[in-house]
Structure 1
């Protein structure tokens, strides 16, 4: 099949799945899609936009990645993008599950996991990804290197701990290594599209789980009020 046709078909699939995930996110938030807190959003060229400005609400600019254009996103990647913009988690700590999306306008969304990368793809539905990278869970390095997801195989649903999800989805550069871990930890092998589809299907359960955990942590951190006699 012609590579151009394959790329177009893949983008159409991302848009279809992303639209479904975005609709689910709106329903979970009570019918409102909320943008991230305003930071100095910059786009290529002379234009700039703010995610909380009225002029961008209801347009793709509402959810624009809050980064400067970066032609070399993999250079000092964890220094430039230390935290996930969607959940705030430390990408250096969760280096084994991190993802990075390099959009065609050179903006970067660097996330802690496939789950948060799926949010980026859904919210930036009209921004085409030039490349998507995932950490190679099977690598021996202290910090897992990134590999293009087109070249990776995902282990989905093993008993490895998931990141921002009940269902683990880890990427491997070598299929042999993924198969070795699958024999030890269970799960199924699939490509990026299979893993992304599962991430969208899991979104409702994962959102409920994360909200419950964070609510519990808030309750535990609140000072205990002593009852007066």
Structure 2
């Protein structure tokens, strides 16, 4: 049996999530997760700073589900298109500190400890059929939930949901 690589898993989930729809592939503004480049807070260095460290997806295009963290030594910043890719990196034994997530309302990176997640809304997710969006203010999360459904939870619970994406591959 051949073990799937992280990249092939990411591509498979990307295609399954419906993100590969040709109507959304060519326009940043046609999907909820997208922002203009000027609105995105990118924390990585180098020529690939705009791309998810795990799957290579465009962080501006999938910004509203973006997460970031620092290496254990504190000398490298990582940014992910989703909590799914953050979990994939953690699942490889990475030790990360200072995890952050984009607040959907302000578009600023906030500590995951302060975030309220809406999981499983009708708004399409990134790298998973189960969407996971974070908010700094609980009232913003409740407003989003009222309009789009989903379940309110904290980061650790949302991370557990992301781990379920991998239970068949590990």
**Which of 113, 121, 139 matches 1:158?**
121
Q: CA deviation digits over 1:72-93, x for unaligned, max 9?
A: xxx8526752101222111011
Aligned to 1:77: 43
Q: TM-score, normalised by structure 2?
A: 0.70
Q: For structure 1, which runs of at least 5 residues remain unmatched after alignment?
A: 1-29, 37-74, 208-229
Aligned to 2:105: 138
SS in 1 for 2:101: strand
How many residues are paired up? 133
Give me the whole-angstrom Cα distance separating, in 2, the residues matched to 1:128 and 1:78: 17
Q: For structure 2, which runs of at least 5 residues remain unmatched after alignment?
A: 8-40
SS in 2 for 1:105: coil
The structure with more helix, counted as a fraction of residues: 1
The 1:104/1:132 distance shift into structure 2, 3 A limit, reads: same
Q: CA RMSD in A?
A: 2.3
Give me the whole-angstrom Cα distance separating, in 2, the residues matched to 1:201 and 1:162: 15
Give me the whole-angstrom Cα distance separating, in 2, the residues matched to 1:35 and 1:88: 11
Aligned to 1:86: 54
Matches within 5 A, 1:67-216: 77=43, 80=46, 81-106=49-74, 107-123=76-92, 125=93, 127-139=94-106, 144-203=107-166
The 1:166/1:204 distance shift into structure 2, 3 A limit, reads: farther
SS in 2 for 1:96: helix
Tell me which stretches of 4 or more aligned residues in structure 1 moved more than 3 Å.
Answer: 30-36
CA contact (8 A) 2:68 2:78 kept: yes
The 1:78/1:128 distance shift into structure 2, 3 A limit, reads: closer
Q: CA deviation digits over 1:76-123, x for unaligned, max 9?
A: 526752101222111011111111111221232211111101111111
Rg comparison, structure with higher value = 1
The structure with more strand, counted as a fraction of residues: 2
SS in 2 for 1:93: coil
